[in-house]
Amino acid sequence: MSEPGIKKAYLELHTAVFLFGFTGILGKLIEVDATVLVWHRMWLTSVFMFLLVIVTKKWQSIPLKELPQIALISTLIATHWVLFYASIKLAGVSVAMICLSSITFFTAIFEPLVFKNRFVPLHFLFSILVVVGIWFMANDQHDQTEGIIVGLLSAVFSSLFTVFNKRILPKYRPRMLSFVEISLGFIMLSFLLPLFNLFFPMNFTMPTGEDWIYLLLLSLFCTVMAFNLSLNALTRLSAFTVNLAINLEPVYAIILAFVFFKEYEMLGMGFYLGTILILSSVAADALLRKKLKTAH
């Protein structure tokens, strides 16, 4: 991959991460339950992605035998979203976003297992930096155990989604794959609503007028645009690198939460120390990739 191609991949990735940073804010603003929120987000996104695929002429036939595997991967992203928004409802934007940073720790474990690669010690070092950063940022949180557990489970499913997506991505056009995954995710979530209702009891009410505006923003910018940019980047970068960069999402989101919701408690010394560690791990991974490329 040429240097301009790598630079474009990083630009796409970090643009996507910045857009992802707004998902927590919009999730807080939308008043419906977490599972209902995700259900509406997925069908809206499916419609927008279908139109995008048609307009850009990126339609691609996918063999029926491949659909069960894609459906399982789609279930991972649907579950991740439900758990993520449930964490926001339980503990607030700051806690949910901090927990999301742990995806690098899980990816450092899952990626070598799935791709049969050797474990990379430096990846574990970067992961440890992130975990320590999470500890600093969450150290002042009290009585948020349930929200933290749900948030960490959300990170597990997000990590698994990215790793398994990396495995099938070379076969398909990113936009087409995004459309199929979100559409199948919506179908799978619809079947799983009774199961999710056991863990996160829902009141299936229709969104209000403001909720619809926030849902449209969430679907168009934070899902359609961000999802496609991140998949484009994933075709050139490793799953670990993509997930590591996503650790910037909590930083953006917590700053936005400070602006919109006055969540001052996360902006003490622990926040700054945690942010420095997370930023350091992202920058170190990028520099290491560049050094290895120059060496070859």
How high is the pLDDT of residue 109? 81
Neighbours of 271 (CB within 10 A): 24
Helices 67-91, 93-100: inter-axial angle, 10-degree rounding:
140
- DSSP string covering 145-157, please? HHHHHHHHHHHHH
Counting residues of the chain whose pLDDT is more than 90, the rounded percentage is: 25
pLDDT at 74 over 90: yes
CB atoms within 10 A of CB 215: 21
What confidence score (pLDDT) does residue 157 get?
Answer: 95
pLDDT score at 296:
47
Could you give the CA distance from residue 266 to residue 254 in angstroms, rounded to a whole number? 8
Q: At what angle do helices 34-55 and 174-199 cross, to 10 degrees?
A: 170
pLDDT at res. 3: 64
Phi/psi of residue 200, each to 5°?
Answer: -130, 80
d(CA 295, CA 13): 24
Residue 24: its pLDDT value, please?
A: 83
Single out the residue of 36, 41, 15 nearest to residue 214, CA to CA. Answer: 41
Domain boundaries, the chain: 3-295
Between 26-35, 60-69, 101-110, 243-252, the lowest mean confidence (pLDDT) is in 243-252
Per-residue DSSP letters for 119-153? P-HHHHHHHHHHHHHHHHHHTT--S-HHHHHHHHH
Average pLDDT over residues 281-291: 69
Most confident of 36-45, 98-107, 116-125: 36-45
For residue 247, the model assigns a pLDDT of: 66
Residue of 281 and 199 predicted with greater confidence: 199
CA distance 147 to 189: 21
